[in-house]
Amino acid sequence: KQANRGTNFDAIVAGAGFSGLYMLHRLREAGLSVRVFEAGDDIGGTWYWNRYPGVRCDIESIYYNYTFSEELLHEWTWSSRYADQPEILRYINYVADKFDLRCDIELGTKIIAAHYDNQTHRWNIQTSNGMQASAKYFITAVGCLSVPNMPKFKGIDTFQGEMYHTGRWPHEKVSFAGKRVGVIGTSSTGSQCIPIIAQEAKHLTIFQRTPQYSAPAKNHPYNREFMRKTVENYEEIKERMRDSMHGVPFHARDQSALQDSPEVRELVYEAAWEDGRLLSMLYSYNDLLVEAKANETITDFFRCKIRQIVRDPEVATKLMPSFYYATKRPVIDNNYFETFNRDNVSLVDVRSAPIEEITSTGTVEAMYDLDMIVCATGFDAMTGPLFKMDIRGKSGISLKEKWEEGARLRTYLGIAVADFPNLFMITGPQSPSVIGNMLVSIEQHVEWISDCIEYLRSNEIEALEATVEAEEGWSKHFQEIANSTLVTKTNSWYMGTNIVGKPRGFLAYLGGVGNYRQICDRIAAKDYEGFSVISTNEEKIY
Contact residue for ligand NA7 among 61, 140, 146, 186 (CB under 6 A):
186
Query: Binding segment for ligand NA7 among 125-133, 180-188, 339-347, 416-424 (CB under 6 A)?
Result: 180-188
By beta-carbon proximity to ligand NA7, the closer residue of 9 and 509 is 509
- Of all residues in the shown chain, the one whose CB is closest to ligand NA7 is 378
* C-alpha distances out from residue 115 to 14, 121, 383, 400, Å: 14, 10, 18, 13
Buried b (16+ CB within 10 A) or exposed e, 304-342: ebbeebbeeeebbebbebebbbbbbbbbbbbbbbebbee
Position among 127, 377, 427, 441 found at the interface with ligand NA7 (CB under 6 A): 377
Name the residue nearer to ligand NA7 (CB basis): 53 or 378. Answer: 378
- Of residues 137 through 156, those in contact with ligand NA7 by CB under 6 A are 145, 151
* 8 A C-beta contact, residue 60 and residue 132: no
Helix and strand numbers, DSSP H then E, in the chain: 16, 20
Asked whether the beta carbons of 242 and 444 are under 8 A apart, the reply is: yes
**Residue from 316, 376, 440, 452 binding ligand NA7 (CB under 6 A):** 376
Q: Tell me the window of 18-26, 72-80, 295-303, 374-382 that interacts with ligand NA7 (CB under 6 A).
A: 374-382
Instruction: Give the Cα separation of 416 and 236 in Å (integer).
Output: 31
Reduce the secondary structure of 352-368 to three states and give it as a string. Answer: CCCCCEEECCEECCCCE
> Does 493 engage in binding with ligand NA7 (CB under 6 A)?
yes
Nearer to ligand NA7, 36 or 197 (CB): 197
x/- string (CB under 6 A) for ligand NA7, residues 299-328?
------------------------------
Q: Which stretch binds ligand NA7 (CB under 6 A): 206-214, 264-272, 460-468, 526-534?
A: 206-214
Burial class (CB in 10 A: 0-12, 13-18, 19+), 80: middle
Is 93 among the residues that bind ligand NA7 (CB under 6 A)? Answer: no
Residue 228 or 351 having the CB closest to ligand NA7: 351
Q: How many residues lie near ligand NA7 (CB under 6 A)?
A: 21
Report the residue number, 47 or 116, with the smaller CB distance to ligand NA7. 47
Q: Please, what is the minimum distance in Å from the beta carbon of residue 323 to ligand NA7?
A: 9
Q: How far is the CB of 110 from ligand NA7 (least distance, A)?
A: 22
Cβ distance to ligand NA7 smaller for residue 289 or 423: 289
Quick one: which of 175, 110, 197, 213 has its CA closest to 376?
A: 197
190 makes contact with ligand NA7 (CB under 6 A): yes
Give yes or no for a contact between 12 and 139, defined as CB atoms under 8 angstroms apart. yes
Q: Are 345 and 315 in contact (CB under 8 A)?
A: no
Collect all residues with Cβ–Cβ distance below 8 Å to 480 and sequence separation of at least 6. Answer: none
- The Cα 262–Cα 259 span in angstroms is 9
CA 381: distance to chain centroid? 8
To ligand NA7, the closest distance from the beta carbon of 211 in angstroms equals: 9
Please report how many Cα atoms fall inside a 13 Å half-sphere around the Cα of residue 200, on the Cβ side: 15
Degrees to nearest 5, angle at CA 478 with 475 and 484: 140
Q: What angle do CA 193, 194, 196 make, to 5 degrees?
A: 70
Among 141, 355, 391, 423, the residue binding ligand NA7 under the rule CB under 6 A is 355
* 268 vs 288, beta carbon nearer ligand NA7: 288
Q: Which stretch binds ligand NA7 (CB under 6 A): 76-84, 186-194, 261-269, 361-369?
A: 186-194
Beta carbon nearer to ligand NA7, 227 or 320? 320
Q: Which is nearer to ligand NA7, 278 or 386 (CB)?
A: 278
DSSP assignment of 321-354, as one string? --SPTTSS--EEESSHHHHTTSTTEEEEETTTS-
Contact pick of 61, 65, 189, 475 for ligand NA7 (by CB under 6 A):
189
**Minimum distance between the CB of residue 189 and ligand NA7, rounded to whole angstroms?**
3
Minimum distance from residue 385 beta carbon to ligand NA7 (Å): 13
> What is the closest distance, in whole angstroms, from the C-beta atom of residue 188 to ligand NA7 in the complex?
4
Contact 24, 103 (CB under 8 A): no
Interacting positions 221-240 with ligand NA7 (CB under 6 A) = none
Q: Which is nearer to ligand NA7, 356 or 460 (CB)?
A: 356
- Figure out which of the listed residues 140, 187, 363, 398 binds ligand NA7, where binding follows CB under 6 A: 187
From the list 1-9, 122-130, 376-384, 441-449, the region that binds ligand NA7 by CB under 6 A is 376-384
From 1-9, 179-187, 405-413, 519-527, give the range in contact with ligand NA7 by CB under 6 A: 179-187
Neighbours of 254 (CB within 10 A): 7
Out of 17, 44, 53, 185, the only residue in the binding site for ligand NA7 (CB under 6 A) is 185
Contact 438, 445 (CB under 8 A): no
Spell out the alpha helix ranges (H) of 204-278: 224-232, 234-242, 262-275
Instruction: Choose, by CB under 6 A, the member of 209, 240, 242, 251 that binds ligand NA7.
Output: 209
**C-alpha distances in angstroms, 80 versus 88, 192, 236?**
11, 16, 21
Closest Cα partner for 541 from 471, 465, 457? 465
Q: Is 274 exposed, middle or buried (0-12, 13-18, 19+ CB in 10 A)?
A: exposed
The window from 67-75, 104-112, 187-195, 473-481 that contacts ligand NA7 (CB under 6 A) reads 187-195
Q: What does the binding site for ligand NA7 look like in residue numbers (CB under 6 A)? A: 145, 151, 184-190, 207, 209-210, 329, 350, 355, 376-379, 493, 498
